[in-house]
């Protein structure tokens, strides 16, 4: 916010495209803060808090006085090996895929999202984020525990009439 306010005081700040981009991102984040907090409460209420303790990983890779490229390769090889041992590396689950899948649904609830995510926490988070994006873009509305697809043709007539 300090950055925004200080930039806004400068002359011609509205002509700066990068500044406008930062301002939009910050304002959008602030607007979505309440939605994210409510979603967090719903998730805690429905699924409880995670009781698992985080796993600490000690890095044994050492940086020697070799060529920087060799040091980085050694570090990342060691890091990836340890991550695989801890099964932290998961199948990639993209937000775009989740959005595409949810756009085909007429309505769904939080439990449906968990089913679509095949009961995997990371996939569920991606699905939930996709549903929030669809609400934010105006394709769905959230009402009485349901994400309901808005009929864009009726929405246009409602706005005009």
Whether the pLDDT of residue 151 is over 70: the answer is yes
Residue 158: inside a domain, yes or no? Answer: no
Give a yes or no: residue 34 inside a domain.
yes
Same domain? For 89 and 141 the reply is: yes
Looking at the fold, whether 82 and 146 belong to one and the same domain comes out as yes
Same domain, 79 and 144: yes
- Domain assignment of residue 97, yes or no: yes
Dump pLDDT digits (tens) for 23-62.
788 778 777 788 888 888 888 777 766 666 666 767 665 5
Q: Does residue 96 lie in a domain region?
A: yes
Instruction: Tell me how many domains the chain contains.
Output: 2
Angle at 88 between CA 41 and CA 38, to 5 degrees: 10
Q: For the whole prediction, is pTM greater than 0.85?
A: no
Cross-strand partners of 25: none
Confidence category of residue 154, pLDDT binned at 50, 70, 90 = very low
Residues 80 and 129 in one domain: yes
CATH of the domain at 115: 1.10.10
| Lowest mean pLDDT across 45-49, 99-103, 125-129 | 45-49
Based on the fold, state whether residues 38 and 95 are members of the same structural domain. no
**Sign of the alpha-carbon dihedral angle for 129, 130, 135, 136:** positive
The whole domain housing 122 covers 68-151
Handedness of CA 30, 31, 34, 37 (dihedral sign): negative
């Amino acid at each position: 916010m300090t950055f925004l306010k200080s930039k806004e005081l400068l002359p011609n700040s509205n002509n700066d495209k990068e500044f406008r981009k930062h301002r939009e991102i910050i304002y959008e984040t602030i607007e979505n803060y309440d939605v994210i907090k409510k979603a967090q409460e719903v998730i805690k209420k429905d699924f409880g808090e995670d009781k698992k303790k985080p796993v600490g990983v000690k890095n044994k890779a050492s940086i020697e006085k070799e060529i920087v490229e060799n040091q980085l390769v050694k570090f990342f090889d060691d890091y990836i090996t340890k991550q695989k041992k801890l099964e932290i590396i998961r199948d990639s689950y993209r937000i775009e895929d989740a959005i595409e899948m949810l756009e085909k649904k007429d309505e769904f609830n939080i439990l449906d999202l968990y089913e679509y995510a095949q009961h995997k926490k990371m996939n569920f988070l991606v699905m939930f984020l996709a549903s929030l994006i669809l609400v934010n873009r105006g394709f769905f509305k959230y009402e009485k525990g349901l994400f309901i697809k808005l009929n864009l043709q009726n929405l246009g007539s409602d706005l005009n009439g």
